[in-house]
Amino acid sequence: MNLSQVIADQNPEIMLWLSPLDPRRRHQDVRTNRLDGVGNWFLETGEFQVWRGGEGGADKAVLFCYGNPGVGKTFLR
């Protein structure tokens, strides 16, 4: 169990006050169903590398990836 989870468990009232949503659990579900290797190419793209490296300062702070409907949401979920 990671530190965030321990702190969350110790402070349930505060966690609920911040938000009733539970993004960590959702992330666990998504990553459990993820196919190994699928999408790895994206991490190698120049756009991702530059964004992650923080080059370009605040101007380049946002990276938006879009996928077409039909494949993105209903197919490769």
> From CA 77, how far away is CA 57, in angstroms rounded?
33
Q: Does 12 bind another protein (CB under 8 A)?
A: no
Q: Which amino acid is at 67?
A: G
Q: Does 57 bind another protein (CB under 8 A)?
A: yes
> From CA 21, how far away is CA 14, in angstroms rounded?
13
CB of 46 to another protein, least distance (A): 10
Map tokens 């321990």 to a residue.
6
Q: Does 49 bind another protein (CB under 8 A)?
A: no
> From CA 23, how far away is CA 72, in angstroms rounded?
20
For another protein, the binding residues (CB under 8 A) are 2-4, 7-8, 11, 13-15, 17-24, 26-27, 30-31, 34-35, 37-43, 45, 47-48, 50-52, 54, 56-77
